[in-house]
Every structure is written in C-alpha cells, then in structure tokens.
C-alpha cells in the first residue's frame, strides 16, 4: 500500500479501544458489561492464567439483555472468569481467500487444520454476504457433468442449480459427495463437513475424496465436538470461499454435509439466548438462517456455484421440519432410499422420489423422452412389484407390466455404478437413449 493511501486512512483509525468485562457465564453464553458493539461483531476475551499465562478467546455478539452484551465463543472455554477484559473489534468475522488455498483443509475460521501457515497473497472477505440480486442472476441453461449416471441421466443438473441430497444415516451421502467431487467437470470443489465425527474427516479426505479429488478441492471442516457457533461459521466460511471463486468467473461445485447439523447448531444458539422452541423444538431463527445461507449460491453475472446440500432426515421422515423447509428452497432433491441400499444398489438413489426442477429446461428433447420412458417403466414395475413377487400376476394380462418386467433389470443395471467408476455425461445420455429405444 502506498504511503499516500496510508496517510488518507489516518482519520478513520480509532484513537482508543472499547473494552468491557465478563460478568457471568451461563452454559454456552458469556455475558459482559460492554463493550459497545453490534450483532455479529467479533470480540476478544483476554484471559490471564497462572498456568497458561495470557491468552485470547474469540467470541461473537449474538444478543443483548438491556445493557448486557451476550457473547458466544468460537472455541471451548475453560479458564474464563468474571472480570476478564472483553475487547470489541467492531467488525464481523473475516477470512483470507485465494487460489493458493486449493488442496488445503481449513477450519471454520479459515485457518489450515494441520497447523501450517496460510499462504501469502490472500485477500480478506467477510463470511456473511447478501445473496445476488434476483434480477441480476442469469438463467440456468447449461448442464454440468456430475459423473454419476443416475443423476446425469435421470436428474440432470444445471450449472448454478442448488440440490438437496436427502437420506437417513448410513445410506451413502458422504460417499456420493466424494464420487461427485472426483468426477465432476466443475472448475473447483468447495466441501463443507459440518458436525462430522472427528474420524470421518480424515476418512472422507483420504478414502472418499482421494488425492485426485483433493487436488482441486478446498475442504472446510467443523467437527461435532466444536461449539455450535463454529459449526455454523463453517457453513458460512465455505459459502464465502465459493462466492470468491464464482466472482472470479469460475464454475464452482459447493457440497455441504450436512445442512441439518447447521440447523441443529442454530437451534442450540437460539435456545441459549432465550428463543422459544417452535416447530419440533427448532427455534424461529433456524427457519430464517436457512434461506439466507442457501440463497447465496447459484448464478451471478460472473460465474456459478452449483450446490449439493445433504439433509439428514430423522427416521427417514421426509416431511420433518428441516427437510421440508430445505426442499422448498432448493431447485431439486435427490432421495437416497434405505431399501435400495439394503438390496446392494449403489448409489441408492430413488429416481421416482427425486426430481431436478431444471432438467426440462437444460436437456434436449431426445434425452428428456428417454428419461421419461424409463421413469414410466420403472414406476409401473414398482407399483406392481408385490403382485409380481408373490406370483399373483400372470404374463400377458397387461402389456405395460410385461414391458416393465422386461426392462426392470436393465434399468437397475443402468442406475448402478461402481464407487470408482467415472462416466461422462455424453456417454450416460447415449446409454440412456439406447436403453429407451431412442426415446420412442
């Protein structure tokens, strides 16, 4: 920075710092008398310990009670006590972003988890941004290759589309994300692992993502043992990183596992600051934060963010509050079916319960007709499967059912895909059209 620029900034530099003091700690919350601050500002809590000397804990302003400032820490608090100095920064959380982050695993604050230093030459961005103006968003009119036959063929995704992956626990959400990250033709992957078990982070990076996937990926991880605020910030940090590269003109693939744990973290914060539990124990702020987060992805005048958000449905209930809310915001949903997983079908995508709301706008006529034909045949078989299995159906009774019985093993074979198999979008569509007889 030039000397002239520095001189011009002198009048805006504060001549004093604002401090407060911790007055009470209740559960997850820290209350302090001052400093003057706004919601979302980061504060530094100074701790002087006879054991560890001086240390600083970062916390965020999440509310006020009359003249009391309510803070939530980014890290676990151990030695904090009444009287600790609270220093206001008068700014929200900011992170460093740049191309040199590609291939790194970061925490919610944007720092490398392995303890190495951040590369030089990065720029500073805020983690909370407004979504693009709806009138400046270009329409989605181009397909993006995912590399999964069931999605590319039957649930085609467009560049800038936002899709939810809905499933119960242990049905293959993380494995499917790793498969997409390795096979997609997007310029860059940004993966947010929110609320994952500690062992799963390394397993996902080494087993599901692999060296090939990590070489074009930035991973943001906030494990389940971290405070609720860190889990929420992990989602916002990953989104801010994706936005930076979108503004550079890239087609970014953002994957978040899972948005349900973001909602659960916000519920923790909401209950701690005194919000009333509303729908199934979720506080009102949960349903306001979700659209603010999910609407930030998509297209803008520079580039695109194609987003996959996994949603953990409790008891495979697709109508539970978070699943229902997210499904209403996104541009499509992919349902992983436990019964298909139990049969050994991978990926366990139930194409009859899944939908891409943009497929009809971005696929050619031959592709659409072929997908519709296979979907109709698959639906006819599933509707009559019980009768077929118990021998109650006699061949020749219905031409549609006879045809569905003939096609069912072929459709199932098409939907199956090996974990390490890489299939292009063009070859998937060719196979689909050939299987459907040219879509006729």
- Residue 312 structure tokens: 């953990």
pLDDT tens-digit series, residues 213-238: 888 999 999 988 888 899 999 999 99
Q: Give yes or no: residues 87 and 157 share one domain.
A: no
**Model-level pTM greater than 0.75?**
yes
pLDDT at 16: 65
The Cβ of residue 361 has, within 10 Å, a number of other Cβ atoms equal to 13
Among the candidates 92, 127, 157, a domain finishes at 92
Q: What is the DSSP letter of 158?
A: B
Q: Give yes or no: residues 232 and 293 share one domain.
A: yes
Q: Give yes or no: residues 255 and 220 share one domain.
A: yes
DSSP letters spanning 14-68: -SS--EEEEEEEETTEEEEE-----TT-EEEEEEEETTTEEEEEEEEEEEEETTE
Q: What does the buried/exposed string (b/e) look like for 186-225 if buried means 16 or more CB atoms within 10 Å of the residue's CB?
A: bbbbbbbbbbbeeebbeebbeebbeeebbebbbbbbbbee
How many domains in the chain? 3
pLDDT at 189: 94
Q: What's the alpha-carbon Rg for the chain, to the nearest Å?
A: 25
The answer to whether residue 2 sits within a structural domain is no
Q: Give me the CATH number covering residue 386.
A: 1.20.1270.330
Q: Give yes or no: residues 36 and 139 share one domain.
A: no
- How far is CA 155 from its chain centroid? 19
User: Could you give the CA distance from residue 135 to residue 133 in angstroms, rounded to a whole number?
Assistant: 5
186: left (phi over 0), alpha (psi -120 to 50) or beta: beta
pLDDT tens-digit series, residues 356-382: 999 999 999 999 999 999 999 999 988
Q: Give yes or no: residues 68 and 174 share one domain.
A: no
Q: Give me the CATH number covering residue 301.
A: 3.40.50.12240
User: Could you give the CA distance from residue 426 to residue 434 in angstroms, rounded to a whole number?
Assistant: 12
Q: Give yes or no: residues 218 and 299 share one domain.
A: yes
Relative to beta strand 251-257, strand 304-312 is parallel
The answer to whether residue 179 sits within a structural domain is yes
The answer to whether residue 4 sits within a structural domain is no
Q: Give yes or no: residues 167 and 247 share one domain.
A: yes
User: Could you give the CA distance from residue 416 to residue 337 in angstroms, rounded to a whole number?
Assistant: 13
Q: Give yes or no: residues 74 and 104 share one domain.
A: no
Q: Does the structure show a pLDDT above 70 at 113? A: yes
Structural domain boundaries, residue 51 = 16-92
The answer to whether residue 9 sits within a structural domain is no
Q: Give yes or no: residues 86 and 99 share one domain.
A: no
The answer to whether residue 5 sits within a structural domain is no
Q: Mean pLDDT, the chain, as a whole number?
A: 88
pLDDT tens-digit series, residues 326-343: 999 999 999 999 888 888
What is the pLDDT averaged over residues 154-181?
90
Q: Give me the CATH number covering residue 88.
A: 2.40.10.170
The answer to whether residue 248 sits within a structural domain is yes
Q: Give yes or no: residues 164 and 214 share one domain.
A: yes
- 3-state DSSP helix/strand/coil % of the chain, to nearest 5: 40, 25, 35
Q: Give yes or no: residues 296 and 417 share one domain.
A: no
pLDDT at 248: 94
Q: Does the structure show a pLDDT above 60 at 439? A: no
pLDDT tens-digit series, residues 240-257: 999 999 999 999 999 998
Q: Pick 162 or 210 by higher pLDDT.
A: 162
Helices vs. strands in the chain: H and E counts, helices first:
14, 17
Q: What is the DSSP letter of 116?
A: P
Among the candidates 64, 92, 120, a domain finishes at 92
What is the pLDDT averaged over residues 97-118?
90
- Residue 41 structure tokens: 């500002």
Q: Give yes or no: residues 373 and 359 share one domain.
A: no
User: Could you give the CA distance from residue 264 to residue 289 in angstroms, rounded to a whole number?
Assistant: 11
pLDDT at 438: 44
What is the pLDDT averaged over residues 125-133?
90
Among the candidates 70, 92, 114, a domain finishes at 92
């Amino acid at each position: 920075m030039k000397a002239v620029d520095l001189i011009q900034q002198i009048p805006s530099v504060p001549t004093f710092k604002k401090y407060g003091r911790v007055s009470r700690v209740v559960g997850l919350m820290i209350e302090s008398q001052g400093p003057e601050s706004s919601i979302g500002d980061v504060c530094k809590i100074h701790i002087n310990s006879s054991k560890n000397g001086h240390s600083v804990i970062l916390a965020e302003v999440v509310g006020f009670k009359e003249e009391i400032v309510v803070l939530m820490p980014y890290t676990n608090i151990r030695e904090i006590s009444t009287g600790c100095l609270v220093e206001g920064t008068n700014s929200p959380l900011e992170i460093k972003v740049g191309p040199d982050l590609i291939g790194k695993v970061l925490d919610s604050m944007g720092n490398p988890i392995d303890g190495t230093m951040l590369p030089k030459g990065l720029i500073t961005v805020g983690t909370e941004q407004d979504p693009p103006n709806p009138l400046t968003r270009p329409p989605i009119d181009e397909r993006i290759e995912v590399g999964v036959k069931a999605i590319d063929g039957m649930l085609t995704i467009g560049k800038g589309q936002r899709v939810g992956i809905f499933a119960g626990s242990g049905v293959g959400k993380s494995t499917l994300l790793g498969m997409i990250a390795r096979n997609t033709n997007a310029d860059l992957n940004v993966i947010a692992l929110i609320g994952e078990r500690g062992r799963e982070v390394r397993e996902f990076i080494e087993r599901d993502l692999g060296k090939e996937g990590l070489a074009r990926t930035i991973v943001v991880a906030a494990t389940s043992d971290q405070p609720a605020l860190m889990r929420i910030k992990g989602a916002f940090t990953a989104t801010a990183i994706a936005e930076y590269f979108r503004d550079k003109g890239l087609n970014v693939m953002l994957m978040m596992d899972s948005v349900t744990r973001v909602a659960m973290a916000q519920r923790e914060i909401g209950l701690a600051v005194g919000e009333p539990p509303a729908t199934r124990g979720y506080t009102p702020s949960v349903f306001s934060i979700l659209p603010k987060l999910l609407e930030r992805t998509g297209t803008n005048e520079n580039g695109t963010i194609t987003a996959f958000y996994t949603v953990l449905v409790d008891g495979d209930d697709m109508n539970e509050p978070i699943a229902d809310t997210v499904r209403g915001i996104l541009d499509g949903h992919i349902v992983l079916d436990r019964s298909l997983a139990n049969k050994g079908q991978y990926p366990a995508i139930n194409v009859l319960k899944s939908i891409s709301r943009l497929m009809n706008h971005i696929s050619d006529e031959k592709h659409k007709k072929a997908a519709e034909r296979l979907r109709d045949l698959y639906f006819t078989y599933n509707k009559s499967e019980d009768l077929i299995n118990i021998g109650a159906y006699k061949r020749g009774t219905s031409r549609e059912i006879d045809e569905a019985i003939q096609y069912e093993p072929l459709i199932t074979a098409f939907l199956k895909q090996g974990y390490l198999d890489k299939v292009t979008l063009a070859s998937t569509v060719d196979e689909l059209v050939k299987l459907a007889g040219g879509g006729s």
